[in-house]
Each structure stands twice: as structure tokens, then as C-alpha cells.
Structure 1
Amino acid sequence: MADRTLVLGGARSGKSIAAERLLSAVPDVVYVATGGHDSGNAEWAERVAKHQARRPASWGLAETIDLVPLLESAGPPLLIDCLTLWLSRTMDELRVWSDLDRAGLVDDRIANLAAVWSSTPRRVVAVSNDVGSGIVPADPGTRLFRDLMGRLNTTISLASDEVLWTIAGRTIPLT
């Protein structure tokens, strides 16, 4: 089994299910939810409930975007779902959306995450969206997000033992 796996795909492609399947035989996985809380949003609550219902009851849960301490520590395998939400929330935290010139701070976080990802003592599977295959976004903030997402996926992919592409519920290894 690979120690570091990245599962890529488009929206609703089945990548979370594929990632969960990779760790389904492990009883003590820590599911790392990076999405945060969107109180009052019924659609978001329904998505979260579906994810929770699929996971084994024995799996733990960490709701955070502070991935570095988790990756640096020894422990059970991690399933990080997902790096796309990590990036969006990191951009929120660093106030990049209101000042696009702060994007270098995100690049620093990506580099730090990749360094820790490369040396983690844990088995880790991360899910991420491929957002770069579509049209070029019209506004600068969305273009920046797309570009940063591409850099994040490329950086983590190159530091991974295995990269999988999921489309229409099917998973293909990338070499």
C-alpha cells in the first residue's frame, strides 16, 4: 500500500468514495474534514451528513485546516477531505480574496504542507478537485484560486507515492 495517496477528480466524480475505499479495512482512520461549518446552509448539512453516514463508526474525526501538526505526528492513517476546501479556507484566513497580492502567503503554506506531506510518518490519503480543465474564469480572484489549486495539486502529487484520477465513479492510477 502507498504511504501517501492523492485522489483527484472533478466535482461529484466519486473521489471521496474512492479515498474511503482505500482505507475501508483500517478501523482507526482519522477523517480530516477541512470544510468548516456553514451553519444554516441545508445543502451543506446534507452533504456532510452523507459523508458521515458512509464512514465506519470506528473512524475518528478532526475538523481543521491546520494539517501540518496532524501530518507531523505519529498515529493512525489520515483521510483528508479535501485539499480544495483547505485552499479556499486558507485563502479566507490569509485574506487573499480581498487582497490578491497576498497570494505568496498561500504559496508558502502549500510549500510547507508539501514538505510535511513528504515526510509524514502516517499513511495519508487526500482528496482534491481538479479545477483546471475547464474554462478560464472571468474574474481575477477565481483565476487565482484555479492557479493556486493547480499548484497545490501538482506539488502534492509530486510528493505522493500514488496519484489516482476519479471520473464517473471510476478510478485510474496516474503514473
Structure 2
Amino acid sequence: MSDRNLILGGARSGKSIAAERLLSAEPDVLYVATGGDDSGNAEWAARVAKHQSRRPASWGLAETIDLIPLLATPGPPLLIDCLTLWLSRTMDAADVWTNLHGADAIEQQIAELADAWSATPRRVVAVSNDVGSGIVPADPGTRLFRDLMGRLNTTISLASDQVLWTIAGRTLPLT
């Protein structure tokens, strides 16, 4: 039986560290980075380097937003960091930020991801930001992102064996 874990929290709350701890006893983990390389951005490169420095050398790396094939195949545990960047890059690829009519296609991709999450034979830990507790965004594209992020988190949460909330470096179970 698979072990599906979702770790939610705000920006820089300690979600990634909590996810790494959950899998720290596993000698072979595939770290799935969904953020892209953002070539030339020094701040992004520093974030990536910080994450890389914490991971064991034995862990593999996949840089992709194509999560369904990874979830569908047997293999080592997956650490997906993060679903927020998956959604952002998925919206980028569909040009949904300014063309809000593509939202239905994104909702379908969320449903397909949730189906793959539910059926995965792997142990999996995913990190995701909770972005719905703040102010209402001023522009329609960002409001759509916030709404889709809420749907994504809810859908994955309901298909998870364990959901954790991280705040200020502390992690609490959600029941």
C-alpha cells in the first residue's frame, strides 16, 4: 500500500525540511523539482543550491512538471517540491494567466494528477503552499491561481494518508 503525504504551509515555513525529514531514513528517494531552472536568476539559484545542499547524495533528481508518469510507475519514494510551482508552470504552459478561459483545462489536469496520486504504488511526499489565507489578489489571473491552488490542495489532501501543516518550522498533523 502506498503512503501519500501532503505538507502544507506558507512561504518559508519549513515545508521542504519537514518533507525531507519524512523521507530521511530512505536511502533512495527521487526528488522531483517542479520549479524549473529560471536561468540567470541569482536569487532562484541560491534557493536551489540551499535545497540541494540538504539532500543526501544518494537521492536522485528529476526536474519536471510531468508528474503523472512518475506517480504511475513503481520505484523509490518521491519527494515532490512543490505542487504550487507545478500549478504555476502548468498555468504558464496553457497561457491561463491572461486567458482565463483555459481554467477548465487546468481543472482537468488537477483531476488527472489527483487520480494518479490516489493510485500511485510509491511512497510519496508533496509540498504545497497554502495561498488562500491572505488578501484577495487584485488581478483576475492571480485570483484564478489562488482558487485553483485551493482546489489542488483540497483534492490532493482528500486523497492523502497524512496531511501536515507547517508553520514557523513546526509541523502539525491535520485530521
TM-score, structure 1 normalization: 0.99
Matched with 2:59 is: 59
Work out the number of aligned pairs and report it. 175
- Could you tell me how far 1:94 is from its partner in structure 2? 1.0
Distance in 1 (alpha carbons) for counterparts of 2:100 and 2:45: 30
The one-letter code matched in structure 2 to 1:45 is A
SS of equivalent residue, structure 1 residue 84: helix
**Secondary structure, in 3 states, of the residue corresponding to 2:65?**
coil
Q: Which residue of 1 aligns with 2:166?
A: 166
Listed one character per residue, the Cα deviations across residues 60-85 of structure 1 (whole Å, up to 9, x for unaligned) are 00000000000000000000000000
Unpaired runs of 5+ residues, structure 1, are none
Verify the 8 A CA contact 1:8 1:129 in the aligned structure 2: yes
Classify 1:113/1:103 alpha carbon distance in 2 versus 1 (closer, same or farther; 3 Å). Answer: same
Report what 1:133 is aligned to.
133
Percent identity for Structure 1 against Structure 2: 82
Report what 2:15 is aligned to: 15
Report 1:64-83 matches (<5 A). 64-83=64-83
Preserved contact between residue 2 and residue 162 of structure 1 (Cα < 8 Å): no
Secondary structure at the aligned position of 1:31 is classed as strand
How far apart are 1:23 and its partner, in Å? 0.1
Instruction: Report the 3-state secondary structure (helix = DSSP H, G, I; strand = E; otherwise coil) of the residue aligned with 1:126.
Output: strand
CA contact (8 A) 1:28 1:77 kept: yes
TM-score, normalization by structure 2 = 0.99
Q: Indicate conservation of the 8 Å contact 1:165/1:173, yes or no.
A: yes
Q: 5 Å matches for 1:1-175?
A: 3-175=3-175
